[in-house]
Structure 1
Amino acid sequence: MWKVIIVDDERRTRQGIITLVDWKRLGFEVVDTASDGYIAIEKYEQHQPDLIIIDIKMPKRSGIETIQVIREHDKAVKFLIISGYAEFQYAKQAIQYNVEGYLLKPLEEEELINYLKKMHTELAVERKDNINNKHDQFQRYIDLIIQQKISKEVRNFFQEEMKWNYYAMLLIRFFDKKQLDLADIVASIKQYVSKEEGIVFIRNGYAGIWVKESHAGSNTEKVYYSVYHSLKEKNLAFIGAVSNRVEQIESMANCYQQAESYLHESFFYEEEYLITPYTPMIKERSIDKSVEQLSDYKEKLLYAVEISDCNTFKQLMMEVIVLLAKTAYTETEIKQQITMLLTYINNKLTAQHPEVQDRITIKLTDIVSIQQSHTIKQLTSIVFEHLKALSSVIDADTSGLIVKRMIHFINKNYDKNIKLDTMAELLHYHKVYLGKIFKETTGEYFKTYLDKVRIKNSKRLLLKGSKVYEVAKMVGYTTPDYFHSKFKKYEGMSPSEYRKNKKRMGQEDS
């Protein structure tokens, strides 16, 4: 059972809360009550409760003042504030002291039950139902240690209960925080990390592990990869960082800061990577911030997109991002530069191709995707897909390029059964439209152009000695008779006559 103290200056309210819900069924026990803040602190020291439900406005000492005093010594105990309507805005001030929530008087049974269920789950995860009190104490002390506020009590605890020769700090950063249940993740990590290996905790949105390090300094990496598969099974995007090993508890604050500083640079590494003190720091850069070199890439990128040269603009974009990564730009500044570059390309294409303006304008979703990218690799992929989409629109809506693709297809596939329907299906345009732009661009109908390509190639094959019926099939005609009629139409003679004339003249067809 989780222990609860109820604090309110009105006796009726205290009794009302006690009788409002079935505490035992919800996994809680009301161990005491208090009528003001001073008594509440005494009761807290006596019972060491897990949850304190407290009125925000009381005589002698207010709820906020009481919470502030208790928080100086206990970061783990949970608070649920109750207040009247007039004090509701006042109650919000208590959020800075990490309260779980606040309820308006008169309390609603369902709302209180929902809070209690939520806190029951959190308490179970954070303390493992008090199976390991020593581990629970560490959770309470971790903030003090990192803040370098190590009391005698904290120091004695570690000296007596955690007689490790070396320590190291491992932090894991998760990228998709919207759907992140950190308490659940930490509970999963604890299944892979024994108390002999390290202590798992939560801080600043990170999953942290205080690792018992070896003299060789290899335990931390082993711990990371032991929880790696657990995180992968949850389809999480994450990256880890580990500090140097130290011998003194007092040095763990520096270890935390060291690991955290590595995570601030996680954008420059791939997901799931473990950054160590021995990892080459991508951000150890001496090049000043300068956009002069970027201007050289603008026109190159624009041209590559216009001609649909995916390989080129992918390579150019990678070069741009690598260039930015080697400068003094931060993650945010790099994303800003990329956004500006894409905006420039979009504006240029819009001016040059106004007929497709509505389809190439950079969208808010594109900018959001860039800003939310987790790593350099992900940013590169997002930008490439955007450029590819732009190129696709420009390509598809430019008649000349469409016809070039049609001609290229004919030259490569004239021996097959090609029709305008084939091209329409391939290019996703109506055959009437394709026939129209083909005639406007080449001056010939599609069928005429195809026949000429076939006849040209048939002449080459005829002079090589192939039989007429073989040549007909090799250039895409279904029957020798049909080939014969087409050949005579364009060359003024039959295939056999053409071959005889050429042999007699001793000339080769060019």
Structure 2
Amino acid sequence: MYKLVIAEDEERLRRGLCNFIDWAELGFEVVSAFGDGKEVIDYLSRHNVDAVFTDIQMAEVSGLEIAKFVYERQQSCKVIVISGFKEFGYARQAIEYKVEHYLIKPIDIDEIARVFTELKRKLDRQQQLASTTQKDRELTEEIFPFLQEQLFVDLAIGAIFSDQELERRLRLAGLSISPAASSALVSIRVSGYGTESSGPDTDQLQVALAKLLREQTGPILHHIIFTQRHLFKVLSLELEMQDITEFERQLNRQMELIRDTLRDFFGLSVSVHYEGVCQHLFDISALFQKSISNDNRQQPFGHAFLIEKFKLVLSKLNDGSDETAPSIWASYMREISQLPMDKQQELFIGLLPALSEYAGLNSVAAGGGSPVLSDLSGHDGQLLLGKIFDGVAADPDRSSNIMIDKAKQYIELNYAQDLSLDDVAAQVFLHPIYFSRFFKRQTGEKFIDYITRLRMNKAIELLIENKYKVYEISSMVGYRSDKYFAKLFKQHTGYSPRDYLKYIMKVSDDHD
């Protein structure tokens, strides 16, 4: 029902308008009726209504003044006026104030019914459009950050190969910027992480950092593109072309604010290192490769970067909706072929044993029981990787089932640890951004909801045993903070851990 206010200074007519018309059948509910426009304006100032049906002339404030009030305040309600006058001046003012209909007395109930039937149809269309617009807005707000994050990761890994593709991806992510926009790679490292029992879990810390990055105001957009426990690599991109010095100044100010906020809130030592600034988006990949190679000096240069790129290729292939996987794969194989043979073999030894099952190949071992990797040429390794690619591409559903089963098994075995989404994604060789969506698609639950539910069920089992203190159970199910554990437990069960145990014992006694 749409809400309707009636204004008529003659009481007899006012009662007639309220009672002699079947407003419910027309789709309206009369929420109030007044004898003067002053009362109507006061009511509209405090209430939302959909329509006002008003006489044009009243004692103090006229119907046209009501229409003017609605028009000037850009209120969404519609105004229908009824008048005993046909003067052009009234009609002109009514048009000026966007009055919906101008009816002439004497009152014709059939005409009123026709006008309000048409008005309801118009309100229905507006409501439907508003609902669609709101859904589109919500979808946009939900999907743009994801598309931007994907874009940032693809730029860092070197998965975009042409100006046309880059421009298309920028538009898709809602970014109206030039490929020549300035960008920076920033490493944020949390020192001393994991030493305090009250400190945040890895995912808590990453969620907090991501939220801080999103909330930064100004012409710079930030996304986390790589995490390694207490190390977060952030790609920062200018949204408005500006002098490079000004870009660096604003970036430095924002990063100092983020560092200080993390330090003050969590009580941790946070350092910020600027890896470099690029003046074209295609330069980001080389900077990222150099950065993560420096972080993994025990591995050959580029090894860690190629591992990350393989995760991205497998993620896109598994996603099934990304047509760029074959071209990224071709680029990946070219990069591998340029490595010295011994470096290729080291890479294959790191990849093949964990990945062969996805393609339906026999398990490949690094030594002992299998001769495959102990004497593997670069050509043979490339062929095996090619078989893995073809196997996943040929039957993505099969590989998806294997991946999700492997992820669940890993969670089941390690839920008592400080387990993050990145940890589980690494076990199935998917990029965390893609793994998050993949996990939701396969299980129907967000990763954080799945692991929280698992931990809460395990905690309930331990509580029922009645052998452990709450802080011990908190630690046993993977929470470093017993306060945070208690908060999640209450959200999950409706009880605090202690009250839940009392409840269980009471139920048990009642059954006995």
Does the TM-score normalized on the shorter chain lie above 0.5? no
Greater relative contact order, per chain length (Cα 8 Å cut-off, separation 6+)? 2
TM range (shorter): under 0.3
TM-score, with structure 2 as normaliser: 0.27
Rg comparison, structure with higher value:
1
